[in-house]
Structure 1
Amino acid sequence: MAKGCRAGELLLRALREESSRLPPDSKTEAEEVLNRGPGAVVSFRVLRDLHDALRKRGSHQYLHELLEGSDIHLPAVEIPQRNPELVARLEKIKAKLANEEYKQMTKNINCQESQHGTLAELSRQVRPVKAMVVTVFNFFVTVAAAFACTYIGSQYIFTETASRVLSAVIVASLVGLAELYVLVRTMEGVLGEL
């Protein structure tokens, strides 16, 4: 946390002019800062006292104007050394956790299955494709059967071939739409399993 700022020229000039009006503690610190020159660290307490002295005197110079050319002083953070026993204990815990994670990942792997499991894996992968092919084939067979049945059955109602074909196309289209709905739902389910 910042405790002061590095003095710039404007701040040093203001400290020279107002050092006699500062409280005793701030006055001694201001004299030390003036002896060190530019870049010396001025505490915020001295800055507050300087600002109060300027306001009492009726100066129109604001604090931010005084700090122009100055930098905030951030003291170096001291990182404590770690306890070697603690570091060794943490390393043991990390190794133990890594070993448990490895065992968790490899618990369902069996070396004997990996040599003979290729056909079983292939069967699992082919099963959804087979279901999709059968569903598409079923769609075409159903539409063709609906057309044929309607065409043959409509000979008792219509005598003209055009009327029979038109009624067969209408019925086959309706059955095709219904089958298409079932086909899409089936494929959606099969693709959801992958």
Structure 2
Amino acid sequence: MLDSIEDPEIKISLDKEKLNRVKVSLNEELPQRFFDEIRVEDVGWLNEKRATLGMPLHELLLGCDIGLPRPVEVKRSAQLEERIQKLKQEQHEREYRDMTKNVDNVRVRHPEDTIAFQMKQINRQLIAVLQFVVSVVAGFAFGFLGVELIVGNLDVGFRLLLGVICALVIALAEIYFLAKKLAEDDFPPPPPLNAPASATAHKQHLD
């Protein structure tokens, strides 16, 4: 992590041998800081003295080291580093969910979160209840009225008994088949071992 630049000055390190020659040519005391490093304004001062430097200015500057200003490096705190890693992990999870949302096996096998599926289930249950009631009523009518039409006049109590027996037998049969159908819907049979995986997934999606 980088902070702002504290010292924006450009610093130049010159060859000391060349500086000694310049010092002799100038016949004056050369600032000692020139032997460490000079700044841009010092280059302007040398340019003004170029007639007495004893060498061209570009030759003096040839091979020098230029130090550019650098921002201060600040070490990240442990809390900040932990937060950054957590955000990266959340970002990777969001990208993974976006890439796999069209091939989510959970949604293919369990589409209960859709309104269309709920309405379809309600309609199926209502049809099953209506079919159960109609079957039981028809069984009672057969025992109460149908047997009399076949064998002739019977006692009312006996006809009621026949109707209840027929209705009870049909009700037990309907409950058995209804429970079997609900069990198949909740726990579908496993696909054959030789069936392609893509075909199985497509069939479950259509169901």
TM-score range, shorter chain: 0.3 to 0.5
Task: Flag the structure with larger Rg.
Answer: 2
Greater share of helix: 1
The normalised TM-score by structure 2 is 0.40
